[in-house]
Structure 1
Amino acid sequence: MKKIEIACFNLESVLIAQKAGADRVELCVDISVGGTTPSIEMIQQARENLTIDLYVMIRTRGGDFAYSDAEFKQMKSEIETIKKFGVNGFVFGILNEDKAINLEQNKALVELAKPFSCTFHRAFDEVLDYEKALEDIISCGFSTILTSGSYPNVMEGKEVLKQLVIQANNRIEIMPGGGLRSANISVLDEIVNANWYHSSAITDETETANEEEIISLKNKLHAK
């Protein structure tokens, strides 16, 4: 069964995602920069209200994905703290200045997050060599890569996404995300054939998921 993860930027979206039948929530804040780490209070409240899986973004700020020693230390501290609240996984990604995967730091965070799974987020879309990056991320121990196929959105990146799924060969999940909506998920799935798909399901100027959009995403994904 193919599954849907909903990126939630507030608690209202968390409740909507579960009600509408989402399989997992990715919790973050600050949609304007693509998501950063939510507050402990927000994580606690989300966990208390969810029976589905909850993944939490670990990202100290917007901007690039190469972090200072102090920022990396903060990321480690956040994972150690958030592990105690019954989450199911973490979402992060660290690059070097040259846009290659930072093997040492990513491995350290994946190890720290155990026994919870880790998703490498859309920092992947900034790498220069996505084939090598895929292998590097597998070697770090991630379970999933969230990506738009190195393009601004999933439809532009659909052929790269298809190739990534083939290259991954079930060693890691390739989860298309970035501009994914009910209007394009059927076409995308025909081409890419991934197991997981990711959307904010936001259809207006708010930061809140749309219940009907999530239901439509699910229905179209499972229509085949």
Structure 2
Amino acid sequence: MKLEIITYTLADAKIAHAAGADRIEVITAPAEGGLTPSLGLVEEIREHSSIDMRIMVRPHSRHFCYDADDAQTIIRDARLFNRIGIDGLVFGALTHDHKVDEELLLRFIEAAGGLPITFHRAFDEVADQVKALLTLSRIPEVTHILTSGAKPSASQAVDTLHRLRHVAAEAGQIELIAGAGLKVHALAGFVRDTGLSEVHLGSGVRVNNDLLQPLDASLISEAKNLINQPL
């Protein structure tokens, strides 16, 4: 089982690492669902921590259908982050008919130099999640999909996530990461019922369950222990 924690400061990264998180997703603008963090922040985290670090590349929060100007920024960010020793990138793009934007995704992967890619919660806005998953499974660099099962909270999509896990297992290569609205106290049952092996936590491991508050190391440790309990 793997535990991924949203981080947007150097202090976050240090706390997550010390508390036993397996991986961090580095973002800025958490209230907007996460945008591309500064190069300086990513460099600082890399200098102070060896934790598996995945970087969000998302130029704005308006939508996931990117124009030529957006794409230019996205590609440049991928190249810049690839130069500083990160472990992977988090990215997603859709066409206007709510399908995976394969053309931009492949350009992004090339710019990233083959780094592992997590396709983020743009996946929750596709017209057909099974078809989108199968599309992504044909792209070797896409190793993970972050999803809430198209619900406001992943806890509301247990059956959907269970079905998607089976599709992913048959397709091979891709791991699903459940994220959005998960609370620590419910993790053991959620993992048991979905069969998923990776979870992504944000507000659920922060002081007062507030995404804009500091990380709570005790909640991260508790979450790690819960998801590693025998089913």
Unaligned ranges ≥5, structure 1: none
State whether structure 2 residue 201 is matched by structure 1 residue 202: no
Alpha carbons 1:20, 1:211 under 8 Å: kept: yes
State whether structure 2 residue 152 is matched by structure 1 residue 148: no
Question: 1:140: Cα distance to partner?
Answer: 3.2
State whether structure 2 residue 36 is matched by structure 1 residue 34: no
Which residue is 1:159 aligned to?
A: 159
Question: 1:135: Cα distance to partner?
Answer: 0.8
- Equivalent residue for 1:223, pick from 195, 209, 229: 229
Residues 114-133 of structure 1 aligned to structure 2 (within 5 Å): 114-133=113-132
- Match for 2:217: what amino acid? E
Which residue is 2:75 aligned to?
A: 76
Unaligned ranges ≥5, structure 2: none
Identity %: 30
- Structure with the bigger RCO (C-alpha within 8 Å, sep 6+) is 1
Which residue is 1:193 aligned to?
A: 195
Compute the RMSD of aligned alpha carbons: 1.2
**Counterparts of 1:146 and 1:109 in 2: how far apart (Å)?**
18
Which residue is 1:17 aligned to?
A: 16
- Match for 1:151: what amino acid? K
SS at match of 1:183: helix
Aligned residue pairs, count:
223
Alpha carbons 2:207, 2:213 under 8 Å: kept: no
Alpha carbons 1:66, 1:96 under 8 Å: kept: yes
Greater Cα shift, 72-81 or 9-18: 9-18
**Counterparts of 1:31 and 1:13 in 2: how far apart (Å)?**
13
Question: 1:207: Cα distance to partner?
Answer: 3.8
Alpha carbons 2:94, 2:122 under 8 Å: kept: yes
**Counterparts of 1:183 and 1:93 in 2: how far apart (Å)?**
30
C-alpha distance 32-154 of structure 1, shift in aligned 2 (>3 A): same
**Counterparts of 2:36 and 2:165 in 1: how far apart (Å)?**
28
Q: TM-score, normalised by structure 2?
A: 0.93
Question: 1:171: Cα distance to partner?
Answer: 2.5
Question: 1:114: Cα distance to partner?
Answer: 2.9
Which residue is 2:85 aligned to?
A: 86
**Counterparts of 1:183 and 1:72 in 2: how far apart (Å)?**
40
SS at match of 1:149: coil
C-alpha distance 207-107 of structure 1, shift in aligned 2 (>3 A): farther
